[in-house]
Structure 1
Amino acid sequence: MRLVPPHTALHVPRSLVRFGGFAFPDWQTLSPTIAYSIRALLAVGLALFLAFFFQLQTPMSSVTTVLIVANPVVGAMVSKSFWRIFGTVIGATAAVLLMAAFPQSPMLYFMGMSLIIGVACCVSTLLRFYKAYAAVLAGYTIVLVSISTFADPDRIFMAAMSRLSAVTVGIVSTAVVFLVTSVSRPEKVLRQVDQTLRNIAGQFSHPADLEDVVPGQTPMPDDGGQPLSFRAMTLTSYDARARLLSQANALVEAIEYAAADNFAIGRRVDGLRAGVARLLGLLSTDHPIWRDEPPPNPQSAAARDLVHEVMASFAVTPSENLHLDDPGHMRARLATAIDTLDQLSEQTKDLPTIAFIDNERDILVQLRSALDDFVGPQVHLRPIRLQLFFDWPAALRNGTRGAFVTLLGCLIWYVFRWSNGAAMLAYLIPASCLLATSPVASRASVMFASGTLAALPAAFICQTFLLPRIDGYPLLWLSLSVCLLPGIWLQFHPRHAMRGFGYAVFFNAMVQIRNPISFDDLSLMNVWLSYLIALIGLALVFRVILPSDHRLDTGRLVMSINRATQQLARLPLDRHVSWPVWENLQMQKILRMIQRFSLVAPPRRVYETTDAAFISVSVGRLITRLRHLVQNPAVHEQDRARALAALSAFQHLCTHPAHTALLLRTAAQDVMADVEDRPAASHVPTRRIAACLEQASLLVDSAPGFFHKHGPLQLPGDMPGANNRLNMAIPPETRSFGMRVA
């Protein structure tokens, strides 16, 4: 018999405990979910009681609102509650105006409603967080308000007021329960930011020390604790850098919600956003060009060791000493290290070594800038205002899809004269609108539909076996709690959140609890049949009607990044460029590119594309530094002219990247050849100009397939050459193919 090592035989995951030969989740893992479920059910009970007390016609709409806005993060709940009311008011107003404009013209009404919903889906794609939810909610609220008044248009105003009343009751009930049972802790999000900062510093420490410094990277809150992104689709993280990107990107959302809940965070929210944006930019320097061994000389080795030592010490600082509260010591350490790197750069005339040291120096400069942003408003009199990337092609596609689905559903109902077709629209249109803005809509629609499908038998059991046997409000709330608990429980776990959301929200719509309550078996069967048909239609919407082409989206985003780099080099020197704003816009594109490309490409290809995209951002940073350096009065006029000529070489970046790299390298060598003949005051800025040009030439030459407008990423997946490595030059024969992405 083969013996199994004890540590293998008895290995139990960290989140499980062993009891009587069985493994069970420990209390620390289960307690957040249990606490959230109890609070959500208490809010459901309060909302249902108030809905009956105020004699609302549709009390279950209040319960639905609770399940939608309930969030373990109080700031997120406050934000979503505000935007839900705002979107409901806009949608209810639009419903009244639309019905008043076309009371006797169904076709015109359907066309107008389709147009409004299309615009709402388009706007929702352009916005972020719960502003996007408010936009799409304003669109499909028209359907929810109007479906009960098609037979009697005069009731549209009362239907709108009833909808708004139910939403308000649900929001107030949720706020009361969650605010009473929650304690505001502004230091929580600060610790999350600080921990992410440590993890990113650990990424730049020595690989041999990385496991000792931050083994596997310190995990951020997830299913076992407070989620940063509640009820959201998540992507699997494959390596340390992907986890760090996910953590830093999730912090943007966490800061947004913390600012809505806490005044102290709200005062410094601009600095926190700017600091996280700089952390994302710092991660863009983590690509293979500088991860390899440095040039074989003492200066480059000393520079690499110094940066590793600083980053490692930064990562292992005791967790009770927040860098965000007292960064003075660390900033002084960074300043000393930067001065040391400047001295090392002065000790050599080797251009590759100077470029390598300059890149290491820039990493520390970026980290110091992030710390400056995190300190608070007392440092930045004019905080950095980050811009939002507007993905217009995706927005127009989603708007077209939303409008088409709405019009098609309305026409099916109108042509077939199905008495219960309104129930189908009440599911198909809101679900399609909500999913249309997701980059993984095809997969999310299946999960959403499976959750709704599970709600069908649950609604049947509740309506048939539970409700007829109860008497009084307590039993009603208890029965609903038992049926809603599976959906509420699943919503807390991102991997199954969409299933839980589909189950919990549309279970309420299927269970016909009215005021007063009545039972009609035929009506119930019609409702369940309409939902079953709507489920089939939902699956078809995202697989037949304007399905997403993730490879096309990837190629379009790649060209957008490259064009932005070209335009940055062509801007006049007197045109001010805010580097953090430009960099953050490109990082938003890269995050979307990774999310979409990972759905159609293997991980190795995604890593290669991510590296190339980071290289493009690094080139943009070098261009910004060059623009600043050439304006230094100490720089010789001839060297300034050479640098400006090198900047103009970027006009060939998307057509002849190899030629651009050659021009940059030649300019760097020319500048470096004459540096000793210049006055001493020009030595430092001139050497940095040469270093920037040399780095840019290396970066561009390392990924010509990414920069070229006919590169592999611009080709359909089944076309020859579509899977070529991005470090390969583009053969002349492929340049005759037309660009698929404008």
Structure 2
Amino acid sequence: MRLIPPHGALSRPLLRLGTFVFPDWKTVRPTIAYSIRTLLAVGLALFLAFDLQLQTPMSSVTTVLIVANPVVGAMVSKSVWRIFGTIIGATSAIALMALFPQSPVLYFMGLSFIIGLACCVSTLLRFYKAYAAVLTGYTIILISVSAFSEPDHIFMAAMSRLSAVTVGILSTAFVFLLTNISHPEKVIRQIDQVLRNITSHFAQPSDPSWNDATSMPDDAGQPLSFRAMSITSYDQRARLLSQANALVEAIEYAAADNYSVSLRARGLRGGVARLLGLLSAHHPIWQDEPPMTRQARTARHIRQEIMRHFATLPPEDLHLEARDNMRPIRRRIRAAMTELDELGEQTQDLPTIAFIDNERDVLAQLCAALDDFMGPQEHVRAIGLKLYFDWPAALRNGTRGAFVTLLGCMFWYICRWTHGANMLTYLIPASCLLATSPLASRASVMFASGTFAAIPAAFICQTFLLPRIDGYPLLWLSLSLCLLPGIWLQFHPRHAMRGFGYAVFFNAMVQVRNPITYDDLSLMNTWMAFALGVVSIALVFRVILPANHRLDSGRLVASIARATEHLARQPLGQHVEWPVWENLQMQKILRIIQRFSLVSSPGRVYELTDAAFMAVSLGRVLVRLRTLVTSPAIHAEDRERVTQALGAFRYLRSDPALTVQTLRATALTLLSHLERRGMPAHTPTRRIAACLEQASLLIGAIPGFFHRHGPLQMAADMPGANNRLTLPVLSTTGPFGMRTA
């Protein structure tokens, strides 16, 4: 029996311990630099707040901790929207106090309504515009706390709050802008790299790891019952989807920091939307091997060669700023598209024509993305994207914010606790910030744990450090020592919520006034108020108002199905802004992936993602079909047949099989009458038949996704809730809960 472990068993734990105690300098250097800059901004803001004799100097420190960001564009954007939100919140606080100075219950109801409205609006917006909406709401309680006993002082409290926020923002901007060199080309390099990664992925064979990787198992450990890619392929697609989505945020912040980027921001966003749409083509049906025809194999080879050429270009050639180098690339892509058109005319085989049409669409999407990225000098008009407004989630979050506010206010009013307002200064802002998060239940625990850790830190600082110091330098050093753990954690996304809760609310607990006074009873009441707020946050978001991620995912799936049906049934003469439609569906898909992954296994998430991407591909086929039908070469009878086939999409959400049968029958009818048409009508008619065949194939592959009573529209504990999306929905639920065939 061997009692002494091998050398490797001892060395591995020691190596991990050594890495933790003495980490790599390259790894910790960005965190150290961010921490130093943040503490310098804290010192400057605190000094100015004392010098200007502000009533709440720690509010300026809190502002620094909130707006500090290593990305200068993000810091600028958040600072601007924080000032805007503070102004609106201060105005609302004054108006609300003026309306109900002697009516606490009415005041609480008005406050709850405003905060609910702010949470609702913030759910509809993105980035720091959403933060400004939430800030508008909870700024009211932060301003009103000091004026509850004397309502006449509400205006001075609002001005003091606005002054402290402005000092904190200016201090942060001064330090970070002084110690940072702007790199406007960084976002362009990011786009270049993502472009190269995506084209490299599409340049690979249908499934690069098919021969050396197992198929994705289902929940029971069995291979999926429908065509699926390998796990490696799904992982690659997920990484690319994450990279492309991150570009949206990078462009937003770069535009806030650099004027030249802001001029091109619309085109850059449009190009990223095209890349997301390009990734939606990467699903099992598109990955299938081409039909056993020469034209199909040639088409796939042409597409792979274009992608491989694009991915292997030297960095100096594949650069969006090098316009002269990009022109030959785009000419080559357009030449390949023309070659694919000629291949489609050389065959009468319907699956082959459909396959070639799909390959051509991938190249068309890439070419359109390049046109958007190159800017107004190369592209006539950049597309104007729309933001998806998730109204059900917004109304739910608004109700959640209003309920939490009213509950906290009434608890304070009924108990008549002298320091109950301090509980509200934590409960309401924390609830508002968390209410709009799709991961609110999980984030609430991290947020509360960080705040709870700030209570003993505030006790140590207030009891052992502050009474023993004299002068501003020692005050700054003492606060920096206590704030450093929270600042350090904020730099790491995995623990950012803990660090944020610790750093921000540590400032609220430490009673640093101008001048500083000490009141043990007040301190103990404050810490107890925050402890009660921490417990309430966890209780509200984990027990009282938990999120139903499966319900949210099913609702978004139904929204995609309705959008597809509406797209098909629009009049043929009505213009469809395809990139806008596609981007709206991709926004829904990103939300689906984020939420459904919290309540389901990876295999189920992959299946749902495949189905959602197929729905986007179906929309792309419908747009091509609508364009082809309007061609003057199409016979009137054929146009009428296609119009009737598109009308069959009214059964998409009730009987997908009927829609599939109608589309397939129409395609066969068009081909049977093709010889009686003139030669100019042959090519577009064959392509129309191919589009109808593709649409029927995509719908038939995922009937459970489109059906209004499909598996995703059921509660998790209902029979059939875990059925595959490839299975037909054999029965539906009647209006009185009866099951009908």
Give me the whole-angstrom Cα distance separating, in 2, the residues matched to 1:2 and 1:274.
64
Partner of 2:264: 268
Partner of 1:255: 251
1:312 to 308, 312, 320: 308
2:159 to 152, 158, 161: 161
Whether 1:240 aligns to 2:236 is: yes
Change (3 A) 1:315 1:606: same
Whether 1:300 aligns to 2:296 is: yes
Shift of 1:735: 6.9
Partner of 1:53: 51
Shift of 1:546: 3.1
Paired AA for residue 314 in structure 1:
F
The correspondence of residues 315-464 of structure 1 with structure 2, limited to 5 A, is 315-325=311-321, 326=323, 327-464=326-463
The answer to whether the 8 Å contact 2:207/2:287 transfers is no
Change (3 A) 1:663 1:3: farther
Whether 1:72 aligns to 2:62 is: no
Give me the whole-angstrom Cα distance separating, in 2, the residues matched to 1:364 and 1:642.
30
- For each residue in 1:94-137, what CA deviation from the matched residue of structure 2 results, as whole angstroms up to 9, or x when unmatched? 10111111111111111111111111111111111111111110
Paired AA for residue 265 in structure 1:
V
The answer to whether the 8 Å contact 1:17/1:26 transfers is no
Gaps of 5+ in 1: 212-236
Give me the whole-angstrom Cα distance separating, in 1, the residues matched to 2:516 and 2:20.
45
Change (3 A) 1:729 1:184: same
SS of match in other structure, 1:148: helix
Partner of 1:536: 535
Paired AA for residue 159 in structure 1:
A
Shift of 1:4: 12
SS of match in other structure, 2:189: helix
Change (3 A) 1:542 1:116: same
- For each residue in 1:160-218, what CA deviation from the matched residue of structure 2 results, as whole angstroms up to 9, or x when unmatched? 0000000000000001011111111111001111111111112212248969xxxxxxx
- For each residue in 1:685-727, what CA deviation from the matched residue of structure 2 results, as whole angstroms up to 9, or x when unmatched? 2222111111111100000000111100001000110000000
Give me the whole-angstrom Cα distance separating, in 1, the residues matched to 2:277 and 2:689.
23
Change (3 A) 1:348 1:433: same
Partner of 2:575: 576
Paired AA for residue 205 in structure 1:
A
SS of match in other structure, 1:33: helix
Give me the whole-angstrom Cα distance separating, in 1, the residues matched to 2:142 and 2:108.
14
Alignment identity in percent?
70
Give me the whole-angstrom Cα distance separating, in 1, the residues matched to 2:76 and 2:682.
56
The answer to whether the 8 Å contact 1:294/1:356 transfers is yes
The answer to whether the 8 Å contact 1:118/1:400 transfers is yes
The correspondence of residues 578-593 of structure 1 with structure 2, limited to 5 A, is 578-593=577-592
Shift of 1:11: 9.1
Paired AA for residue 436 in structure 1:
A
Paired AA for residue 511 in structure 1:
V
The answer to whether the 8 Å contact 2:119/2:435 transfers is yes
- For each residue in 1:495-523, what CA deviation from the matched residue of structure 2 results, as whole angstroms up to 9, or x when unmatched? 11111110110011111111001122221
SS of match in other structure, 2:148: coil
Give me the whole-angstrom Cα distance separating, in 2, the residues matched to 1:82 and 1:256.
13
Partner of 1:86: 84
SS of match in other structure, 2:517: coil
Give me the whole-angstrom Cα distance separating, in 1, the residues matched to 2:475 and 2:638.
81
Paired AA for residue 710 in structure 1:
H
Partner of 2:218: none
SS of match in other structure, 1:406: helix
Give me the whole-angstrom Cα distance separating, in 2, the residues matched to 1:692 and 1:23.
61
2:285 to 285, 289, 292: 289
Partner of 1:500: 499
Partner of 2:563: 564
The correspondence of residues 218-237 of structure 1 with structure 2, limited to 5 A, is none
- Compare 377-386 and 364-373 and name the one that shifted more: 377-386
- For each residue in 1:249-278, what CA deviation from the matched residue of structure 2 results, as whole angstroms up to 9, or x when unmatched? 111111011001101101111000000011
Shift of 1:329: 2.3
Partner of 2:514: 515
1:40 to 30, 38, 62: 38
Partner of 1:223: none
- For each residue in 1:58-108, what CA deviation from the matched residue of structure 2 results, as whole angstroms up to 9, or x when unmatched? 110000000000111111111110110000000001101111111111111
Change (3 A) 1:154 1:23: closer
Partner of 1:732: 731
Paired AA for residue 721 in structure 1:
G
Give me the whole-angstrom Cα distance separating, in 1, the residues matched to 2:680 and 2:181.
57
Partner of 2:213: none
Shift of 1:374: 0.4
Whether 1:695 aligns to 2:694 is: yes
Give me the whole-angstrom Cα distance separating, in 2, the residues matched to 1:641 and 1:691.
17
The answer to whether the 8 Å contact 1:401/1:545 transfers is no
Paired AA for residue 153 in structure 1:
P
The answer to whether the 8 Å contact 2:711/2:722 transfers is yes
Change (3 A) 1:728 1:428: same
The answer to whether the 8 Å contact 1:712/1:722 transfers is yes
The answer to whether the 8 Å contact 1:43/1:177 transfers is yes
Give me the whole-angstrom Cα distance separating, in 2, the residues matched to 1:668 and 1:180.
66
Partner of 2:169: 171
Shift of 1:35: 1.2
Change (3 A) 1:122 1:22: closer
Give me the whole-angstrom Cα distance separating, in 2, the residues matched to 1:119 and 1:282.
37
**TM-score after normalising by structure 2:** 0.92
Whether 1:280 aligns to 2:279 is: no
The answer to whether the 8 Å contact 1:114/1:404 transfers is yes
Shift of 1:737: 8.2
Shift of 1:20: 7.9
Change (3 A) 1:152 1:318: same
Partner of 2:121: 123
- Compare 336-345 and 660-669 and name the one that shifted more: 336-345
SS of match in other structure, 1:268: helix
Partner of 2:704: 705
Give me the whole-angstrom Cα distance separating, in 2, the residues matched to 1:305 and 1:26.
45
Give me the whole-angstrom Cα distance separating, in 2, the residues matched to 1:421 and 1:57.
21
Change (3 A) 1:738 1:20: closer
Paired AA for residue 199 in structure 2:
A
CA RMSD of aligned residues (A): 2.4
- Compare 343-352 and 264-273 and name the one that shifted more: 343-352
Gaps of 5+ in 2: 210-232
**TM-score after normalising by structure 1:** 0.92
Partner of 2:228: none
Give me the whole-angstrom Cα distance separating, in 1, the residues matched to 2:706 and 2:207.
35
Partner of 1:217: none
Change (3 A) 1:322 1:34: farther
Paired AA for residue 24 in structure 2:
D
Paired AA for residue 204 in structure 1:
F
The correspondence of residues 649-688 of structure 1 with structure 2, limited to 5 A, is 649-688=648-687
- Compare 93-102 and 668-677 and name the one that shifted more: 668-677
Paired AA for residue 289 in structure 2:
E
The answer to whether the 8 Å contact 1:278/1:369 transfers is yes
SS of match in other structure, 1:396: helix
Partner of 1:201: 199
- For each residue in 1:265-313, what CA deviation from the matched residue of structure 2 results, as whole angstroms up to 9, or x when unmatched? 0111100000001111111111111112111222212222221222122
Paired AA for residue 345 in structure 2:
E
